Amino acid sequence: MDVYFDNSASTRVSEKAIEIMLKTMREDYANTSAKHIKGVDAEKYVKDAADIIAKTLKVKKSEIIFTSGGTESNNLAIIGTAMARKRYGNHIIISGIEHPAVYRPAEFLMEQGFEVTILPVNAEGEVDLEVLKSSLRDDTVLVSVMYVNNEIGAIEPVDEISRIIKAKNKDILFHVDAIQAYTKFKITPKTQGIDMLSASGHKFHGPKGVGFLYIDSSVKINPIIFGGGHQRGMRSGTLNTTGIAGMGVAAKEAYDDFEKKIKNIVLMLFLSLIFISCATAPLTGRRQLKFVSDESVAQSSVAQYNQMIAQLRANHLLANNTAQGKRVAQIGRRVTGAVEQYLRANGMQDKLQYLNWEFNLINTKDINAFALPGGKIAFYSGILPVLQTDGAIAFVMGHEIGHVIGGHHAETASSQNLAGFLMLGKKAIDGIVGGAVVSDELAQQGLSLGLLKFSRTQEYEADKYGMIFMAMAGYNPEEAIKAEERMMKLGGSQNAEILSTHPSSENRLQELRRFLPEAMKYYKK
């Protein structure tokens, strides 16, 4: 079985397109310019295709000119416009990532005395809009920008480009190379301010050797092919009835149930993302969503942590040299030693290369503690009177380190990115189909509810890690339960940040008691 991954270059012709093409070759083969019955029958295919394509764009069918493909369409739009409007100016603008079918005609025009400005693009391949604004001149007659880049997939902000152009001068024509965009987007030139638009049949399951150019009825351009005056003199030559018929059918197939198709594509992408991004939590075997690596999170978090510590030091808020600071560090060394032992014993020694332990006590009344990927651990002094014992401190420290070992930071970052992806996908669908499919509020509510479970699950896992690590470090795991009972007494204390995302204390206590026998196996008095 052949596997084909080059649809951006060319697509397989659809079966329905093949059927109608065979019919034109076998039965309705006459010249569409002929006045006899067979000619009229053949012409009907052309009219039908023009009608289909015009409806997909919400334009008049008389505004569709059939060509031999995207290259000819681009040449006709660019050269034809320039030659027709040279008395108004000799300046045209294109982007720096255009197809040769655009920049070669631009080079030709330069040889004819025209000036061409090439717009730079940003790292995402998008046209620099500020440069566009500054490049527009009184003698600018045409701007040509491709909708979707054929190599990097960049999608240009066509609507915004049009607004900028028309704000400068409504008579400047805007041509869009939509060869990679037509049938992938719902394009409406009249509302998007597009004066001319190019497309090619073989990019959307039509045949090769046929395309079209939409030209707004108010736009006058010069033909570049002369002969029998076909298509109102805009493009002479006997029409490729077979190709046009096949392209019309392919366009109809592409846009039938368009919204549903786009939703299904986004859904498949989402499910694929979930599938390829699944990992396994080391302790519990739980499946995790992780398409952000622990390493990348470690790099960014360490940089942020160092910046925070530098600010705290400058404000004299570090208490590392106090008795309590030394106490936290001493407990930390015992716990982290146990962590390293656990990782080696369980085949996870590769994680050690990203751990450079550091302990800091922050002088604040806040009741909190945290550990970051990279091995950066911080306790707030306000939590120590609540914890009281070394064992309780060891449990909280082990718990926070458990988040690191369990990959919870990367998992949370992935969830946040996923939420962003889903909202971006929703907005993309809205843009493609031309309306809101789901309200932003409803989508956001769904995301919040869907991601809430991750936080609770992570906390339970971290508790288990904390009990194991404290036990291996020589602290009685029963202290974890006592520590949680003391935390319960805090109730709704405003300073108890550590409780803000944690499971309810009763449920947490229940889980701690359930896991205690397993944790005791690691405890040696």
Q: Where are the domains of the chain?
A: 20-256, 293-408+451-520
Average of per-residue pLDDT across 364-375: 83
Q: How confident is the model at residue 292 (pLDDT cuts 50, 70, 90)?
A: low
Q: Flag whether pLDDT at 425 surpasses 70.
A: no
CB neighbour list of residue 262: distance below 8 Å, 6 or more residues apart? 429, 432, 433
Give the pLDDT of residue 436: 45
Average pLDDT in the chain = 84
User: What is the residue type of 361?
Assistant: L
Rg (Cα) of the chain, in Å, rounded? 33
Q: Flag whether pLDDT at 241 surpasses 50.
A: yes
Q: In the CATH hierarchy, which top-level class contains the domain 20-256?
A: alpha beta
Element containing residue 93 per DSSP (H, E): strand 91-95
Report CA dihedral (210, 214, 217, 222) to the nearest 10 degrees. -60
Q: Flag whether pLDDT at 93 surpasses 80.
A: yes
Give the pLDDT of residue 155: 92
Dist. CA 464–CA 462, nearest whole Å = 5
Q: How confident is the model at residue 438 (pLDDT cuts 50, 70, 90)?
A: very low
Element containing residue 145 per DSSP (H, E): strand 140-146
Dist. CA 190–CA 192, nearest whole Å = 6
User: What is the residue type of 74?
Assistant: N
Work out the angle at residue 184's Cα, subtended by the Cα atoms of residues 12 and 251, and round it to the nearest 5 degrees: 55
Q: How confident is the model at residue 374 (pLDDT cuts 50, 70, 90)?
A: confident
Average of per-residue pLDDT across 329-340: 92
Q: Flag whether pLDDT at 39 surpasses 60.
A: yes
Element containing residue 325 per DSSP (H, E): helix 323-345
Count Cβ neighbours within 10 Å for each residue of 408-435 and write b for 16 or more, e otherwise. bbbbbbbbebbbebbeebbeebeebbee
With contact defined as beta carbons under 8 Å apart, do 502 and 508 qualify?
yes
